[in-house]
Structure 1
Amino acid sequence: MAKKVRKIEPIHQKVMLELKPKKRVCAYARVSTDSIEQQDSFHYQVDYYKNYISNRDDWEYAGIYADEAISGTQVKKREEFLRMMKDCEDGKIDMIITKSVTRFARNTVDSIKAIRKLKLLGIGVYFEKEHINTLSEKSEQMLTILSSIAQTESENISANTKWGFRKQFEDGSFKISTPAYGYMNDENGQLIIKEDEARIIRRIFDEYLSGKGTYTIAKELNKDNIPTIRSAEEWQESVIRVILQNPIYEGDLLLQKTYRTEVLPFQQKANKGEVPQYFIENNHEPIITRLEGQTVREIFEFRREQIGIDDSGKYQNRYDFSSKIVCSECGGTFRRQKIYIGKPNERVQWCCVQHIRDIEKCSMKAIREENIKEAFLTMWNKLVTNHIDILYPLLESLKNLRINEKQEVEIKELNNKIIELTEQSQILSRVVSKGYIDSAIFIERQNALTVELKEITKRRNQLLDKNGFEKEIEGTTLLLNIIRCNSDIIEDYDEKLFIQTVDKIIIGKDSEITFRLINTLELTEHTRK
């Protein structure tokens, strides 16, 4: 008699299959250029995926996320991509379908990071072209390779584009797509003067040559309601500085003042000698004379030296209070002013920038510099006299607020380990420079040290974040050391002491001056009215 076998499905599994909900599936589409052909492709992708998902009985359509006419080299620029990731985190999506790895991301780091994040959420990404589901065991290695190829392709395209631009720079055929204020392009792409804007350029140069500063020029342009560059809210003194230093207004052209980094994510940076620049003399009709341009540069350089600006364009804080005084009313910084110049009552005062621009937005009055110095003198002498009763109990309290004493010990051990590893790295560098070890061995050991140092530093920083009060403790300890070296009452304002001990000055109503010290302790004094 023949055996007859019939499989009986388990009750639990049958029930689960019946109760199992449909998988919520969405699609991600992207078109990376704004050409008409690609726009058609974009709409095609939206229609295709909507039908593709809806035709599956076990899938539920969860929408289309589509970034239109945006580059795929940086995820942060793709609003729809970020919205999709947020919906995944919120549990609204079970699976994502996209055309290919290159449509998902062209940056390997961003691509793998996003995929791993989705995998932790139990969400797979299916790439149609490559037939890869990221939830499968062998997917990650293949994805890494494919994403790297896509990234290399993007970098090659960027390199070819830059090569094309440089060839145009070299033969002088480069056409500026967005001309500087005062110029526009003719039908051949050549620069010609835009007379209404050129009048403003001549005004800026004339006023600077007559002795006005960039701040005053910008302020007066705003007062006269002069249209700004590219619809900015108002004229800024930084814009005036750029105009005054631009050789374009003398008829010359300086190309490649900025450059893009070679690898992803691409970044635009100021060219400070990293790549060649190209200077084209007599390229177009000038708005100012060469003598005017040269005189402006000489005045500009003289003023830079006077107010202490370094080669990077940053202020060296010629004055003690520069960038340190803050308005308690509007949060603006205070600017130094010299008033009644040449008169017996000539004096220096500091005033809120917002108040200077618009008294309606900030009513904080100016304060004399001598009053700030007098208030600091009073505050410092009080602190020195009472530091034992103020700073030592404060330091003890801060240490007692530490979350975990064991963490204190571990932080100390990690700091010692960081110092040790740093010294090992330096010794290793000296050894290889003298030829005592092979370069390959050096690279291997150096890499191992770098990895270990990175992990230890990361652990130390995590503990510091949890422990807290690091800045307050270090600042209080430093204050005590400064007082030990300056324990006498001072009779005159001491510039060095101020710079060493004060982080910010907060100007308040009713003649209040609050000094925020380097340990965040705030001490308030009242000035003479």
Structure 2
Amino acid sequence: MQSMQTASQSPNKNVRVIPATKPLAKPEDALDRPLRVAAYCRVSTEMEEQLNSYAVQTSHYTEKIKNTPNWEFVGIFADKGISGTAVKNRDEFNRMIRCCKRGRIDMILTKSVSRFARNTLDCIKYIRILKEIGVDVYFEEQGIHSMKAGSEFLISIFGSQAQAESENLSANIRWGKDKAAAQGKVAFPAKLYGYRRNPDGSVEIIPHQAAVVRRSYDAYLDGDTVLDIIKSLADDGIPSPDGKERWHKNTIIGILTNEKYAGDYLTNKTFCADCLTKKVVRNNGERVQYYIEDHHPAIIPREIFLKVQEEMARRTSLEPKGDFSSATGVGKYRSQYLLSEILICGDCGARYKRVNWYRNGKRKVVWRCINRVQGGPERCSSPTIEEQHLHDAIMQAVMRLAKQDTDVFRIIKEQIRAGILGGDDGIGDIEALQQRIALIDTEIDAKISSVTADNIEDYDDNAIMELLTEKSELEHRLQKAIEQNAAREGKEEKVQEAMQITDMLKNHPMKFDDKMLRKLLKRVEVLSTEEILLTFAGGLQMREKMQDTLKRMPIRKG
């Protein structure tokens, strides 16, 4: 029992103190030794005032470092015309950090936290990196040494303030640009193929480059693909905007879709989603846009530009060739053969495909329904048609159209015109609306002028409001009528093209020509082995007989 009581008692502990033999090294103590010192300067724009500030900063720090005892001048690292919200593009800053990591710098002098970085995260990140390798950053304006205790808290406060200033500045600049754009005041790009921006801000056309732009638009409307245009330019030795022998596909697409070539300017196609990361995204309705017409000299008439956009949309929306086409359900446009696009099977509705057949070593070109080719006769029983027979039948129909008697030919042309324009010209509506609006203005002026101090009690405010309401409705209708008329003017060119072709064919028989027929034909449907149905521009339809198709005998497909 006694032994258990002894075990439960805690033993006496003997604690010995081991005193420190040398003082704890503090980060700031490193500042008392000779230091290799560099300075970092930055100005965010290249305006004259900022460049003067840059020169003053450089001179100040060079003199300060060289005149301070125990300081060895390493150099000045300076970024001109660079934003401080992101480190990625600040070449001199990054070079300075590399020198610090290689042990060549002990201290960095800079004017303020905002000059070092306007992004709080970047600022703290690099302060910590430098602190770990024993490099001090001295912010002169705030009087802060990054190596001293508590400095990171102060730096984060000033860094957050600098970041907020940058975000506010970005918002103010965007607001100013939007207000200027609303008044049609937008600076033209410094570089755009076909144009030159002069020092005074004026814009002029570069003739030889403009000729290439016009050529590209014309070729596209004639049925060429983007790759066809690229090959044509390369064959003629025309260099790309960056001087290379071959043009890039996106460059041609950019030319064909850029409204600036029509003399217009669309603002805010993209925008900076974050002023810190500088991430640029496409504007899908998140930012207001302004479309400024007649902003600068046009290389391409607006009507031609709109026709190219229509043609692009048409090619993109082509129906699939057949039931066995790609999973996208969209057909692929090919410029080489017009019939690949418009020759349709009357049995299943799929498109026809050009196929090489061989018999006794001789090549024969035929057209076959793609469902028949891929699915066999069980899928489609449409006929195979020899290309020459098909061409002959199409040209016979076109010539027959052109050679109709005068009255019939006039009716056909009117049908084509009506089909393309889609109704009357609407000019009468515009004139009637303008006359009624002018009459309302006269009535309103007369009513207001008739009011005097003697009859003001009898003034009928409701009558004025009714007239103003009617005028507002009429102005809305007038704007719609003007827009519809402008669309008709663009379609009128299509009418003229079709008319010119039919007039030419009437007197000068022509061979099958893809580019010419592309402007005249919309669809050719194979009805049977002996007949096709042609649909012309405007919806006019005509049946045409064909010669007998290929005789049914064993033929090897190639």
Separation in 1, partners of 2:293, 2:171: 27
Deviations 1:157-193 (A, max 9, x none): 2211111110111121223243643334578745554
- In structure 2, the CA distance between the partners of 1:32 and 1:281, relative to structure 1 (3 Å rule), is closer
Counterpart in 2 of 1:148?
160
**Secondary structure of 1:149's aligned partner:** helix
What residue number does 1:166 align with? 178
Give TM-score, length-normalised by structure 2: 0.49
User: Corresponding residue for 2:488?
Assistant: none
1:344 to 2:357 alignment: yes
Q: Which aligned pairs between 1:125-274 and structure 2 lie closer than 5 A?
A: 125-178=137-190, 180-185=192-197, 189=201, 191-229=203-241, 231=243, 234-274=246-286
Which amino acid letter does the alignment assign opposite residue 75 of structure 1?
A: V
Q: Residue 76 of structure 2 aligns to a residue in which SS? A: strand
Structure 1 residues 232 and 150: CA distance shift in structure 2, 3 A: farther
Q: Conserved in 2, the CA contact under 8 Å of 1:247 and 1:254? A: yes
CA gap 1:162/1:56 in 2 versus in 1, 3 angstroms: same
Whichever of the two has the greater Rg, that structure is: 2
**C-alpha RMSD of the superposition:** 3.3
CA pair 47-232 structure 1, distance change in 2 beyond 3 A: farther
Amino acid at match of 2:109: I
Query: Structure 2 unaligned runs (5+)?
Result: 1-20, 24-28, 321-326, 332-352, 364-558
Residues in 2 aligned to 1:102 and 1:233: alpha-carbon distance in whole angstroms: 46
Query: Aligned to 1:261, what secondary structure does the other structure show?
Result: strand
Question: Which letter maps to 1:252?
Answer: D
Q: Which of 34, 54, 67 is the aligned partner of 2:79?
A: 67
Aligned partner letter, 1:343: N
Find the residue that maps to 1:125 and give its secondary structure: strand
Distance 2:265 2:302 in 1: 13
* 1:176–1:189 Cα contact (<8 Å) kept: yes
Amino acid in structure 1 at the alignment position of 2:66: S
Match of 1:23 in 2: 35
SS of 2:356's equivalent in the other structure is coil
CA contact (8 A) 1:215 1:236 kept: no
Q: Residue 272 of structure 2 contacts residue 281 of structure 2 at CA under 8 Å; is this kept in 1? A: yes
Counterpart among 75, 99, 105 of residue 93 in structure 1: 105
SS of the residue aligned with 1:239?
helix
Verify: 1:55 aligned to 2:67, yes or no.
yes
CA distance in 1, matches of 2:304, 2:58: 58
Alignment of 1:79-478 (within 5 A): 79-178=91-190, 180-185=192-197, 189=201, 191-229=203-241, 231=243, 234-306=246-318, 342-344=355-357
Q: Write the deviation string for residues 316-372 of structure 1: whole angstroms up to 9, x where unpaired.
A: 6989xxxxxxxxxxxxxxxxxxxx9643279xxxxxxxxxxxxxxxxxxxxxxxxxx
Q: Which amino acid aligns with 1:236?
A: H
Task: Provide the rounded CA distance (Å) in 2 between the counterparts of 1:161 and 1:139.
Answer: 33
**Kept after mapping to 2: 8 A contact 1:175/1:190:** no
Offset, 1:66:
1.8
Gaps of 5+ in 1: 1-10, 309-314, 320-339, 347-529
Letter in 2 for 1:235: W
What is the distance in 2 between the residues matched to 1:250 and 1:69?
33
Distance in structure 1 (CA, Å) of the matches to 2:131 and 2:295: 57
Q: Are 2:238 and 2:245, in contact at CA under 8 Å, matched by a contact in 1?
A: no
Shift of 1:256: 1.6
* 1:217 to partner: Cα distance: 1.1
Q: Give the superposition deviation at 1:64.
A: 2.0
CA, structure 1 residues 92+316, in 2 after alignment: closer, same or farther (shift >3 Å)?
A: farther
d(CA) in 1 for partners of 2:74, 2:196: 48
| Deviation, structure 1 residue 155 | 1.6
Q: Is the 8 Å Cα contact of residues 217 and 237 (structure 1) preserved in structure 2?
A: no
Counterpart in 2 of 1:439?
none
> Which amino acid letter does the alignment assign opposite residue 32 of structure 1?
S
CA deviation after TM superposition for structure 1 residue 274, in Å: 1.5
Other structure's SS at 1:71 match: coil
C-alpha change, 1:273 and 1:119, in structure 2 (3 Å) is: same
Q: Which has the higher contact order (CA 8 A, sep 6+)?
A: 2
CA contact (8 A) 1:72 1:103 kept: yes
Supply the distance in 2 between the matched residues of 1:63 and 1:317 (Cα, whole angstroms).
64
Do the aligned partners of residues 301 and 25 (structure 1) sit closer, same or farther apart at CA in structure 2, a change above 3 Å counting?
Answer: same
In 2: Cα distance, 1:289 partner to 1:274 partner: 30
Residue identity in the other structure for 1:133: H
Whether the 8 Å contact between 1:97 and 1:126 is mirrored in structure 2 is yes
When normalised by structure 1's length, the TM-score is: 0.52
Evaluate the alpha carbon distance shift between residue 284 and residue 129 of structure 1 in structure 2; reply closer, same or farther with a 3 A threshold: closer
Cα pair distance change 1:288/1:34, threshold 3 Å? closer
Hey, what's the Cα distance between the residues in 2 that align with 1:200 and 1:166?
33
Alpha carbons 1:25, 1:62 under 8 Å: kept: yes
The secondary structure found in structure 1 opposite 2:162 is helix
Identity, % of aligned positions: 40
- Judged with a 3 Å threshold, the aligned counterparts in structure 2 of structure 1 residues 57 and 184 are, in CA distance, closer, same or farther, namely closer
Q: Give me the whole-angstrom Cα distance separating, in 1, the residues matched to 2:115 and 2:233.
A: 47
Structure 1 residue identity aligned to 2:214:
R
* Shift of residue 262, structure 1, vs aligned partner: 4.4
Q: Comparing 192-201 with 224-233, which one deviates more in the overlay?
A: 224-233
